[in-house]
Structure 1
Amino acid sequence: MSRPLTPRQQNVYDFIVKTLNEQGYPPTRAEIARALGFRSPNAAEEHLRALERKGVIRMVAGTSRGIRLPAQEQAEPEGEPPSQGLPIIGEVAAGSPVLATEHIDRYCPLPPEYFTPRADYLLRVRGLSMKDVGILEGDLLAVHRTERVRDGQIVVARLEDEVTVKRFRRQGPRVWLEAENPDFAPIEVDLRNEALEIEGIGVGVIRGGNGQALN
């Protein structure tokens, strides 16, 4: 550290560290402003720039959570690139792999091991078909990639080039993809003449894409 921090800068730095430790990813400017009583996110931005000049944080352009701690980055194993975190998948194009580069909106600096079993990616939820189990529009569903699934698990399934999040039920060659919302009818699939691919199972939820991770 080239120069000591002012008390206010120390408060901002401590909040960043606290958020990283508790949630696994850094706060936004708005969250910093709200937590520390700043009038606007611009005030938080000014403190972040000051912290960057003093070398205690690093700012990543183009992302609302682009705050990194150089001390943590230096702790990465020698010879290995710093982890980008979990990829956040937005829209999935028909017929293409979920983890195709063009589907990745950004990365969330949350370790895969935060979830059990470990997560491979975060899928942004569209719609309210799973609202009764607390999976809401805009949430991030943590997904463990596997084709092995048990009855009752929440899965990411691909059916006729569409990717959907539903609860899995199977009886013989018939599968039901069930919503957790009475407004949505189950999707019935006959495996004898319809293709169904399981992309993974849900292992946790990040509320609203930027709140506390639940697993």
Structure 2
Amino acid sequence: MKGLTERQKEILNLIKSDLRNKGFPPTRADIANALGFKSPNAAEQHLRALEKKGVIKIRSGASRGILLHEEKDSGIPIVGLVAAGQPLLAEENIEDKIKIPTNMFKKSVDYLLRVKGNSMIDLGIHENDLVAVKKEKECREGQVIIARINEEVTVKTFRIDGEGQVILESANPDYKNIKINPEKEDFFLEGICVGVIKSF
């Protein structure tokens, strides 16, 4: 926080605290009340000074439109539509990055994948939900996995039949299971599902 006045440091700490504890930044009125300013305008002046110093970015027209510059490139990436042939975490596939509490899931999360389609609805995974993914090189029978088959990414339950053939099982009777033929298909494990963030 080099180059900041004591008052600016207080405001910055308040913004960080609200983002960490509430999930959103304070309004100008919140800042004024917390730090004893006579009006929200005084808070606005300090925010503009912080923006000039490159510490925050102010989104016009939004009462809570304060973005910390340091958060721009941090957080868990949200992967949207994956183009064929691209790595899952290629920059063009990443919609956004968000911060989630470290204890939200039992296992660490490497990225969130936006679900397309309803092939897993019987497991409570619906279209536009965010599947929390941990990168793994191996998976166990019955785990929900993120797989790449012939450059297409899919979310399915990993099964092995009596003949040792890999089956990617849907959780919706309207969708067929996928049998993997290693001689004809490229199969790659991208990771395992460790949780779901619902879309409402």
From 142, 156, 181, the equivalent of 1:190 is: 181
* Matched-pair contact (CA < 8 Å) for 1:175–1:188: yes
Q: Percent identity?
A: 41
Q: What pairs up with 1:136-155 in 2 under 5 angstroms?
A: 136-155=126-145
Give, as a single letter, the amino acid of the residue that structure 2 aligns with 1:21. Answer: N
* 1:38-117 matches, cutoff 5 A: 53=45, 55=47, 58-59=56-57, 61=59, 67-68=66-67, 84-111=74-101, 114-117=104-107
Task: Give the Cα–Cα distance (whole angstroms) in 2 for the partners of residues 198 and 180 of structure 1.
Answer: 19
Q: Which runs of 5+ in 2 are unaligned?
A: 1-6, 9-13, 28-39
Query: In 2 relative to 1, CA 183–162 (structure 1 residues): closer, same or farther, beyond 3 Å?
Result: same
* C-alpha RMSD over aligned residues: 3.8
The alignment's TM-score, normalised by the length of structure 2, stands at 0.67
- Following TM superposition, by how much is the alpha carbon of 1:194 offset from its aligned partner in structure 2, in angstroms? 2.6
**Counterpart Cα distance in 1 of 2:58 and 2:137:** 35
Q: Which has the larger radius of gyration?
A: 2
- In the other structure, the counterpart of 2:191 is 200
Query: Contact between 2:115 and 2:128, CA under 8 Å: does it hold in 1?
Result: yes
The question of whether the paired residues in 2 share the 8 Å contact of 1:88 and 1:104 is answered with yes
- What residue is the counterpart of 2:117 in the other structure? 127
Q: Give yes or no for contact 1:158–1:197 (8 Å, CA) kept in 2.
A: yes
* SS of equivalent to 1:157: strand
Cα distance in 1, alignment partners of residues 125 and 170 from structure 2: 11
Q: Normalising by the residue count of structure 1, what TM-score does the alignment of the two structures yield?
A: 0.63
The total of aligned residue pairs comes to 168
Seen in structure 2, the aligned counterparts of structure 1 residues 165 and 67 have a Cα distance that, compared at 3 Å, is farther
Could you tell me which amino acid in structure 2 is paired with residue 26 of structure 1? F
User: How far, CA to CA, are the matches of 1:147 and 1:26 in structure 2?
Assistant: 36
